[in-house]
Chains A and B, each alone.
Chain A
Amino acid sequence: MTPYLVRRLTPLDSRLALAALYAGAIVAAVAAGGSMFALFGANPVTAYLSLIENAFFDLRGFGYTLVQATPLILVALGAIVAWRSGFMYLGFDGAMIVGSTTATAFALGAGPGLPLDMLPSTIVVALAVLVGAMAGALWSAIVAVLQVRTGGNTVLISLMTNYIAIVLVQFLVSGPMRAVGDQPQTSLIDRAFWLPIIIEGTRTHAGILIALVMAAVIFVLMEKSAVGYELVAAGLNQKAARYGGVDVGRRVVQAGLVAGALAGLAGAITILGVQHRLLDGLSQGAGFIGIVAALLGRLTVPGSVVASLLYSGLTVGADAMQRHTGLPSALVQVVQALIVLFVLAAEIARTHRIALRAPSAAKARA
C-alpha cells in the first residue's frame, strides 16, 4: 500500500484551516530546528526561550529587533507592490545598495566646508533619504521598462543587477569614495546627519517609524485606492486589465518605481541610522529576506510586517543565543529557511490530501 496524493475537490479555504496550516508549519519548522540544537548539546527549549526573551522582551534586544526589521519591512512592501502588479522583481538588494550609495554621497557632500554645508541638518537628512529612494526607484525602473518594452526575463535580469550594484559599490569604496586610509569604505558621515534614536537606551533609530508609515501608505494604496486596483488587475491578467482600460505598461513601470524607491529608502535608512558610512557587504541579504517575509505574509501588508518582525527577532535572538550558549547563529538561519519551506509544503495540504489505496482500486495519481 503506497500513499498517493489526491487532489481535493474543494481546496481548504476557511480561515481556520489556513491558520491551522500556518501554525502547524511554523511549529514543525521550529521543532526541526530545535532538534538540530540538540545535536550541539544544547537544550532546545532553553535556547529558544533565551532567543525570544532577548529579541522581544529585553529593551535593548527589542530595539535591535526593530532596527533589523526596518529594511525587511520596506523591502517586503516593495515586493508586495511589485509582485502583485506582475513585476517579478528580485533586485531589491541592488536597489538598497544604490540607495545607500547615493544617500552616503549626499550626506558626505553636506559636511562642514562642503557644497551643501548651508542646509540645516534635518533638511540634509530628509533629502539624503529622498535621494536614496529616488536612486533605488530609477535602478529598478530600468528593469521594469525592459519588461514592458522588450519582454525580458525579469527574474533573471534583476538577479544580475544585484551583482552589478555590488560591484559598483566595491569600485566606489575602493576608489572615488574611499576615505583616507586602506579600508574599502567611505569616511564617516557627520553626526548631525544621523537618524535620531527614538528609544532611550537602545540603538533604535527613526527608521522604524518611517517603515511603519510606509506600511500604512502601501496598505491604503494596494487595498483601497483606484491605482491599487489597476496594479492588482495588471498583475492578475494583463489582457483582461487592458480590456478593462488599464494601461498595463505604465502601471508596471510605476510599480517598479515604487518597489525600487522602497528598497532605496531601506538602503538610505540603514546608512543614516546604523552604519553611517558606506562599505562593502552591507545589505546582509536583506533584499532577499524581505522578499521571504512578504511571501510568508502572503503578500499582504499586515502579514509582511509581522513576518518581518518575526524574522528580525530570530536574527537578533540568534546573536544573543550564540553569545550565551555558544550555539552558532547560523542555526537560526536554518530555522528561518525551514519556516518558509514548511509553510510552502503546508500549502499542498490545502489542495491535496493523502490517500492510502490499494493500487487495483479506482486509481489516484500523484
Chain B
Amino acid sequence: MMVPAPPVSPDRPIVSLRGITKRFSPTLLANDEIDFDLRAGEIHALLGENGAGKSTLMQILYGLYARDAGAILIDGAPMEMSGPQSAIACGIGMIHQEFMLVEPFTVTENLLMGGLALPGGARFDPAEAGARIRMLSEAYGLDVDPDAVVEHLPVGVRQRVEILKLLYRDARVLILDEPTAVLTPQEVQALFVVLRALRDAGRSIVIVTHKMQEVLAISDRVTVLRDGRRVATVATAATSEDELVRMMVGRSVSLTMERPPTSPGRVVLSVRQLVVGDATGAIKVAGLDLDLRAGEIVGIAGVDGNGQAELIESLFGLRPVASGGVSFGDEDITDWSPTRRRAAGIGYIPADRRRVGSLVELSILENAMLGDLGRYRRRDGLLDRRRGLDDARRLIERFGVRVSGPLFPAGKLSGGNLQKVVLGREVMREPDLLLVEQPSRGLDIGATRAVWSELLNQRSGSKAILLVSAELEEILNLSDRIAVMFGGKIAGLFDADQVDLATIGALMAGGRATPAQGGRS
C-alpha cells in the first residue's frame, strides 16, 4: 500500500530556486546565480563533477547553509529557510552523503528526535511511534526494524532508515546527495525501485550525483552544473551520455588513457592467505592471495567497505595482520613498521589526502618531509631545512604544483594540487611498490589526467602499483589486471582486456563469475 502525496498540478514547480549565490572564500564561489526548478512527481537529477556546487545548492534549499543572494520559492511563495526546521515544515527532506544518524539511538529514537512537532501532533510515545514506523517500513518494502540500534546497522540499512525518516514526515520533496556511493549495484537497483514508486505516488525527488549512468537510468529531467553555474536543464530521454559529458566538462570527450604495453618483471609483492581484522574484531580481509609484478598495475575494484582499505593499510603496516604473510621481494615484511617498509621501497598514497596523507596545518616543505624524516635529520638532531627546501622545490616543479613557493600552507592548496604534493612526495622517493587508494577522488578532469599520467609513468619505469578504486573508469583505464574484492576476498582476477563491465559489476555485488567469462584466480 503506497501512501500518496496530495495531488499537485504536474507543471507548476513545487520548488523554485532563483539566482542562488554562495561564496565560501575569495577563491571559492560555490554557487553562481543558479536557477533550479523541481516539479511534482518527477525525479530530477542534479549532475556535475566533484566541486561543481551541487551539494551546496541543496544544502541551501534545506536551510543548512545560508545563501548570499537569491530566492527560494515553495509552491510559488518565497520562503526564508532560516534552518532545516523551515525546510522540514515545508515538506522537504534531505539525505546527506554523511548520514545524519545518532549512533547510540534506536531507529525510532532517531526519527522522533527533532525540532518540529511530531507528525500528526502526536504525543511523545516511543512504542506507538515504533509501530507506525514498522508499518511505513513494510508499506515501502524497506525492511527496517524500529528497535534496532543504529550503531549496529550496516550502511545499506542506514540509508533506508534515512529514507524512512523522510517518509515519517511525509516529505513531498526528497533530496538525496550521492546516494549510491555506498551501495552495491544490487542495492542501487533496489533503491531505484523505491524511488520510482515514490515518484509515481506524486512525490518529487532530487538526486545529486556525478555518475552519468545513474542519471540516465533513473531521472526524468537532469540539470547540469559546472563550476558553480547552471549549464542546462534537459529531459533525460532527450539527451545522451556524450551530450551530458560535454555539458559537465565542456568537452565532448571522456577521459581515456593510452596504456603502452609492458612486460611485467619479477614478483615484487606477494600476499598469502592474508587475514586482517578491524578494531571491533570483525574480519575484514578473509584470506586473500595476490601477486604483483614490477611494471604492472593491478586494480582492485569493489564497493567501499569490502576490505580494500584494511588490505592496503595492512600492506603498509598501519594495521596489524591477524594471520597470513606479506613478502616484498625476498623479505617477509608482515610485521614491519611503516617506516621500515618505506625505507625498503614501498610508497603509499592514501584515500584521504587531507586527513591522512598530509598535515594541512603545515607548509608544503614540511609535508614533503613527511614519511622520510631520516633523510632530513642531521647528526645533531636538528632538521635539515635546506635539503627540505631543495626537495620541495624540485617536487613543485616536476609535478606542476600551482603555488608560490614551498612555504605555502598545504591546507590552502586545491584538491588537485594537494594530491600532486602527496603523489609527488611518494614518487620522488623512487619506491619499487606503490600502494594507491582512490587517487582521483574529488579531483577535476585536469588533475585526474595528471595523476593518471604519473601512475602510468611509474608503470613504464618498472614500478609495481596496487590500485584500489571505487571508480570503475579509473580501474579500467589504468589496470593491466583487474581484481574484484567482495567480502574480504578476491572474487575474481582477470587480465584487463579479458573481462567486461557486467562481470565486474556482478562480482562487486557478490555474484560469481562463470568460467566462460575468463575468470581466473
Do the beta carbons of A229 and B358 come within 8 Å of each other? no
- Tell me, yes or no, whether A226 is within 8 Å of chain B by CB: yes
- Return the chain B residue nearest A221 by Cβ: B381
In the bound complex, CA of A232 to CA of B339 (Å): 18
Q: How far is the CB of A156 from chain B (nearest CB, A)?
A: 21
- Tell me, yes or no, whether B431 is within 8 Å of chain A by CB: no
Do the beta carbons of A363 and B356 come within 8 Å of each other? no
Do the beta carbons of B66 and A243 come within 8 Å of each other? no
In the bound complex, CA of A244 to CA of B381 (Å): 18
* Interface SS of chain A: helix
- Tell me, yes or no, whether B370 is within 8 Å of chain A by CB: yes
* Stretch among A170-178, A234-242, A262-270, A337-345 lining the B interface: A234-242
Residue interface bits A244-263, CB-to-B below 8 A is 1, else 0 = 11110000000000000000
- Tell me, yes or no, whether B373 is within 8 Å of chain A by CB: yes
In the bound complex, CA of A237 to CA of B67 (Å): 32
In the bound complex, CA of A283 to CA of B465 (Å): 59
In the bound complex, CA of A10 to CA of B25 (Å): 6
- Tell me, yes or no, whether B432 is within 8 Å of chain A by CB: no
- Tell me, yes or no, whether A354 is within 8 Å of chain B by CB: no
| Contacting residues, chain B, for A246 (C-beta < 8 A) | 373
| Contacting residues, chain A, for B339 (C-beta < 8 A) | 245
- Tell me, yes or no, whether B272 is within 8 Å of chain A by CB: no
In the bound complex, CA of A27 to CA of B80 (Å): 41
Do the beta carbons of B26 and A229 come within 8 Å of each other? no
* Interface SS of chain B: loop
- Return the chain A residue nearest B81 by Cβ: A363
- Tell me, yes or no, whether A49 is within 8 Å of chain B by CB: no
Given contacts A9-B23, A236-B362, A364-B66, contact A226 B373 (CB under 8 A): yes
Within 8 A of A (CB), among B364-380: 366, 369-373, 376-378
- Tell me, yes or no, whether A192 is within 8 Å of chain B by CB: no
Q: How far is the CB of A195 from chain B (nearest CB, A)?
A: 30
B interface residues, tally (CB under 8 Å): 39
- Return the chain B residue nearest A223 by Cβ: B383
Given contacts A9-B23, A9-B24, A229-B383, contact A242 B338 (CB under 8 A): yes
Do the beta carbons of B383 and A237 come within 8 Å of each other? no
Given contacts A237-B355, A362-B69, contact A10 B26 (CB under 8 A): yes
Which among A237, A245, A363 is the interface contact of B342 at CB below 8 angstroms?
Answer: A245
- Tell me, yes or no, whether B357 is within 8 Å of chain A by CB: yes
Given contacts A227-B381, A240-B358, A363-B80, contact A245 B373 (CB under 8 A): yes
| Contacting residues, chain A, for B316 (C-beta < 8 A) | 243
- Tell me, yes or no, whether B233 is within 8 Å of chain A by CB: no
- Tell me, yes or no, whether B318 is within 8 Å of chain A by CB: yes
- Tell me, yes or no, whether A225 is within 8 Å of chain B by CB: yes
- Tell me, yes or no, whether B348 is within 8 Å of chain A by CB: yes
Which among A225, A228, A232, A245 is the interface contact of B371 at CB below 8 angstroms?
Answer: A245
- Tell me, yes or no, whether A93 is within 8 Å of chain B by CB: no
Do the beta carbons of B357 and A243 come within 8 Å of each other? yes
| Contacting residues, chain B, for A228 (C-beta < 8 A) | 383
In the bound complex, CA of A237 to CA of B411 (Å): 13
- Return the chain A residue nearest B341 by Cβ: A245
Do the beta carbons of A233 and B382 come within 8 Å of each other? no
Chain A: number of interface residues, binned into ranges: 20 to 34
- Tell me, yes or no, whether A365 is within 8 Å of chain B by CB: yes
- Tell me, yes or no, whether B430 is within 8 Å of chain A by CB: no
Do the beta carbons of B369 and A229 come within 8 Å of each other? yes
Q: How far is the CB of B385 from chain A (nearest CB, A)?
A: 8
| Contacting residues, chain B, for A247 (C-beta < 8 A) | 337
- Tell me, yes or no, whether A220 is within 8 Å of chain B by CB: yes
Q: How far is the CB of B424 from chain A (nearest CB, A)?
A: 15
In the bound complex, CA of A227 to CA of B80 (Å): 53
Q: How far is the CB of B337 from chain A (nearest CB, A)?
A: 8
Given contacts A10-B25, A230-B373, A363-B82, contact A243 B356 (CB under 8 A): yes
In the bound complex, CA of A227 to CA of B380 (Å): 11
| Contacting residues, chain A, for B25 (C-beta < 8 A) | 9-10
In the bound complex, CA of A283 to CA of B337 (Å): 43
Do the beta carbons of A225 and B383 come within 8 Å of each other? yes
| Contacting residues, chain B, for A244 (C-beta < 8 A) | 359, 370-371, 373
- Tell me, yes or no, whether A224 is within 8 Å of chain B by CB: yes
Q: How far is the CB of A89 from chain B (nearest CB, A)?
A: 21
- Return the chain A residue nearest B316 by Cβ: A243
- Tell me, yes or no, whether B361 is within 8 Å of chain A by CB: yes
Q: How far is the CB of A212 from chain B (nearest CB, A)?
A: 20
Do the beta carbons of B350 and A243 come within 8 Å of each other? yes
In the bound complex, CA of A116 to CA of B77 (Å): 90
- Tell me, yes or no, whether B242 is within 8 Å of chain A by CB: no
| Contacting residues, chain A, for B338 (C-beta < 8 A) | 242-243, 245
| Contacting residues, chain A, for B376 (C-beta < 8 A) | 226
- Tell me, yes or no, whether B187 is within 8 Å of chain A by CB: no
In the bound complex, CA of A255 to CA of B293 (Å): 42
- Return the chain A residue nearest B376 by Cβ: A226
Q: How far is the CB of B208 from chain A (nearest CB, A)?
A: 23
In the bound complex, CA of A224 to CA of B376 (Å): 11
Do the beta carbons of A240 and B23 come within 8 Å of each other? no
Do the beta carbons of A240 and B355 come within 8 Å of each other? yes
Do the beta carbons of A362 and B359 come within 8 Å of each other? no
Do the beta carbons of A240 and B373 come within 8 Å of each other? no
In the bound complex, CA of A262 to CA of B361 (Å): 27
In the bound complex, CA of A103 to CA of B280 (Å): 46
Which among B359, B372, B382 is the interface contact of A220 at CB below 8 angstroms?
Answer: B382
- Tell me, yes or no, whether B68 is within 8 Å of chain A by CB: yes
Do the beta carbons of B359 and A237 come within 8 Å of each other? yes
Do the beta carbons of B23 and A233 come within 8 Å of each other? no
In the bound complex, CA of A297 to CA of B198 (Å): 59
Do the beta carbons of B371 and A243 come within 8 Å of each other? yes
- Return the chain A residue nearest B380 by Cβ: A225
Do the beta carbons of A365 and B66 come within 8 Å of each other? yes
Q: How far is the CB of B212 from chain A (nearest CB, A)?
A: 33
In the bound complex, CA of A363 to CA of B83 (Å): 11
In the bound complex, CA of A245 to CA of B426 (Å): 13
In the bound complex, CA of A10 to CA of B26 (Å): 7
Which among B68, B377, B383 is the interface contact of A362 at CB below 8 angstroms?
Answer: B68
Q: How far is the CB of A208 from chain B (nearest CB, A)?
A: 27
In the bound complex, CA of A365 to CA of B80 (Å): 12
Ordered nearest first, which 4 A-B pairs have the shortest CB separation? A245-B339, A244-B370, A226-B377, A244-B371
**What are 13 A-B interface contacts by the 8 Å CB criterion?**
A224-B383, A226-B376, A236-B359, A237-B360, A239-B356, A243-B357, A244-B371, A245-B338, A245-B342, A246-B373, A362-B70, A363-B82, A364-B66
Residues of B in contact with A (beta carbons under 8 Å apart): 23-26, 66-70, 80, 82, 316, 318, 337-339, 342, 348, 350, 355-362, 366, 369-373, 376-378, 381-383
Residues of A in contact with B (beta carbons under 8 Å apart): 9-10, 220, 224-230, 232-233, 236-237, 239-247, 362-365
